Each structure stands twice: as C-alpha cells, then as structure tokens.
Amino acid sequence: MRTKVAIIGAGPAGLFLAHLLARAGIDAVVLERRTRDYVEGRVRAGVLEQGTVALMAELGLDARLRAEGLVHTGTNLAYDGEVFRVDMAALTGGSAVTVYGQQEVMRDLFDAAEPRGVRIVFEAEDVRPEDFGGSSPSVSYVAGGVAQRLSCDFIAACDGFHGVGRAAMPADVLKVYERVYPFGWLGILADVPPVNHELIYANHERGFALASMRSESRSRYYVQVGLDERIDDWPDDRFWDEIATRLGPEAAAGLVRGPSFEKSIAPLRSFVAEPMRVGRLFLAGDAAHIVPPTGAKGMNLAVSDVAMLADALRRHYGDRDDSGLDGYSARALARVWKAERFSWWFTGLTHRFPDMDPFARRMQVAELAYIRGSQAAQTVIAENYVGLPLT
C-alpha cells in the first residue's frame, strides 16, 4: 500500500492531522494499535484552548462543541480558605477556554473520519517506521495477522509518550529534557453538578486539588496524591472529604457528593524531546513532549503541533516549498517550551512538594496573595491559560 503521509497513532494529534491533510487533499493513512472504543474511552483532557476550538470550527467539526461545550471566561484560584477569580476574557481582550472532554473531541474526529475519506487502520500491530533517513520511508505493521508495508513520503509519529516514533530516532540525535514530579493526580468522574460554574485550582497545605467538570451535571475532580498511593486507598468518602478540605469552606460550600464511576491516578512529568524531526520522520504531540496537566496544555499542544505540520506539508505538496518542513521542529518547540514553562510554574505554585520547608510554603502563599492583587500577574496566567498564539 502507498500513501503520502503515514500517521502513527489515532489520538488527538494523529486524527487532527489526518483531518487537516484530508481537507488539503493530501493522502494519508492512520495506523492505530488499539480499537476506536479504547481510544475514545480514555478519560484525559478537559479544557480546549481558543486555538483548538477555532481549528474544530475551521474543520467544520464543532457542532457538538458549540452545543455542549462550556465556555469559560475565567478561572479560579483557592488558597488558605480564600478564592479569587482570574477574569481571563477581560485580561486578554475577550479570549476564553471551552470545557469539552477529550473523549468528546475524539468522538467528533472519529465520526467524521469515514465520510471525509480519513483512512484509519485499527488494531495495527508491530508498527515500525523504516528508512526515514532517505527519500523512500515506509512503515511496516501487522493487521489481522498479515504483515503489511505502507510506503510513503513522510511519517508523522503521533503515537504518544510510549510510542515507537521517538524510539526509532537515532540516540545520538535525540536530546531529552525531563522533570518527574514526586506526586500524581487522582481523578474521579461523578454525575453530580460541579461545585462551581468555572474551574477552581486549589493550593492547600495538604496538597493540590482541582474542581473541574464535563457538563453541568457531570463533575471532574482531582487531588494530588503520593506516588505510593493506590486507587484502593481512596474510597469515595475519603475522596469527597479531602476535596472539600483542600478547596476550603468558601469554594466547597456547594459541593455535591455522589458515587464516582471513574477513578484513576496519573503521574506528572515535564518532558521534551528535541528535535521533533529526523529526515522524513516528524514527531507531534505527546510523542515529543509531556506537560503536567495543571495548565491544561497537553492535548492543546498536540493540536498546535499538527496545525504547524499540516501547514508545512500543504506547502510542500502545493508549492514545492520545504521551508515549513525544515522549520517545523524549531517552530513547534518554540511554542512547546512556553507551554512547558507555564505548566511547570503553575504546578510549582499550586502543589505541595515533599521536600517543601516552611519558607517555601510561605513563598507559595505570598505569590498567590500577590497574584490576587496584581492585574499584571493575572494577565500572565490568563494569556497562557487561554493559549498563546501560533507563531
């Protein structure tokens, strides 16, 4: 089989890229090792930056998003029993974010795939990018027990943090930067109304907490937990007591408890692999970078990467201009590092680190108190949270 662009992975990066290429009339094939149900069933991101919303609209995939997404013009910070709101729209000339779960985004992308000629091979096994150092790359894989080879012009590794694309890059070319945090996030989904109509990020001496949602009747909550903690350590009652404590009396005043139907623990790390291109192999999304979810950047970075890559491929095929492909890695990394910085900083501001001494704790509280009273400091949060422009 032959195509122009072989895409490994049908997560947000792979599917947004596939749709962008389909719209540009550039043939592509997506090789996904799991089933659609598995990919769509993963509970992950919850907040779309303005750029991601705009891309869904540009692709004509935003009908449900417009109908069901929750537009948030502000977000809230809680500390020492206080809560204050950052009016993001006022501070960014009207920008906002939209709460719309990654599961819903994936459903919209998958539903529109076949009608738009987006070809996806699910349950592709043993996927291997090959010969991407030359002008005739290919991807070998096994489908239905039969060995296949997909010849192509380019390979886009959109295969996530544990994918094969980055692993196939020469070790002497790849440089990685990493920070593994000494804690994780325990998250639940429960069909109860959210405690607040916007998100609340809470810094408490017992640890971080986040009050989010998926709709006006479905809540998403997180508490910071130690790396040695397990889901079984956290029955619902303990979770609800802890989220109430960490949000504080004012923020938790309207907390509605109920049975969780999803409970998971995610580790936190900051990670960047450079470069995001070797020969005809390009990395995009979690395959190249990971951020702690504090800044709600993960999925949104995947989207901005593939928006840049699709633009570069359009110029290659349409104008025989390779400047976009040659500049992709530097351009994508420039935005990635700014999101890495914001996510790392926001995690440092709101989480309890095991080695934190009383002075460090007071510095956190002092910085939150300063932000509370500073339009300049709140503008920094607002412009990063709604999403920095694609440069």
For ligand PHB, the binding residues (CB under 6 A) are: 46-47, 199, 212, 220, 293-294, 296
Q: Which stretch binds ligand FAS (CB under 6 A): 157-165, 239-247, 319-327, 339-347?
A: 157-165
All residues at 6 or more sequence positions from 272 whose CB lies less than 8 Å from its CB, including other chains: 176, 177, 178, 288, 289, 333, 336, 337, 340
252-258: which pairs have CB atoms within 8 A and are 24 or more residues apart?
A: 252/195, 254/195, 254/196, 255/195, 256/192, 256/193, 256/195, 256/219, 257/190, 257/192, 258/190, 258/191, 258/192
Look at the block and give the residue holding tokens 């692993």. 167
Whole-angstrom distance, CA of residue 65 vs CA of residue 62: 5
Give yes or no: 72 in active site.
yes
Beta pairing partners, 157: 8, 283
Q: Is 74 in the site for ligand FAS (CB under 6 A)?
A: no
Rounded (5°) CA angle 200-74-346: 55
**Identity of residue 106:** M
Candidate list 299, 312, 339, 371; residue touching ligand FAS; CB under 6 A: 299
Candidate list 72, 297, 331, 351; residue touching ligand FAS; CB under 6 A: 297
When the beta carbons of 192 and 296 are compared against ligand PHB, the nearer one is: 296
Q: Could you tell me the smallest distance in angstroms from the CB atom of residue 95 to ligand PHB?
A: 16
When the beta carbons of 3 and 300 are compared against ligand PHB, the nearer one is: 300
Say if residue 354 is preceded by a cis peptide, omega within 30 of 0. no
Q: Binding marks (x or -) toward ligand FAS, 241..280, rule CB under 6 A?
A: -------------------------x--------------
Q: Which tokens is 385 given?
A: 């949270």
Residues numbered 317 to 376 that lie near ligand FAS (CB under 6 A) are none
Candidate list 39, 155, 255, 309; residue touching ligand FAS; CB under 6 A: 39
User: What Å distances lie between residue 321 and 28, 275, 281, 311, CA to CA?
Assistant: 19, 21, 18, 11
All residues at 6 or more sequence positions from 347 whose CB lies less than 8 Å from its CB, including other chains: 181, 268, 292, 294, 295
Q: How many residues bind ligand FAS (CB under 6 A)?
A: 33
Do residues 336 and 301 touch, judged by C-beta distance below 8 A?
yes
Q: Is 127 in the site for ligand FAS (CB under 6 A)?
A: yes
When the beta carbons of 146 and 376 are compared against ligand FAS, the nearer one is: 146
Q: Could you tell me the smallest distance in angstroms from the CB atom of residue 374 to ligand FAS?
A: 26
Q: Could you tell me the smallest distance in angstroms from the CB atom of residue 195 to ligand PHB?
A: 13
Catalytic residues: 72, 201, 293, 297, 385
Which parts of this chain interact with ligand FAS (CB under 6 A)? Answer: 8-14, 31-34, 39, 44-46, 102, 124, 127, 158-160, 163-164, 266, 285-287, 293, 296-299, 302
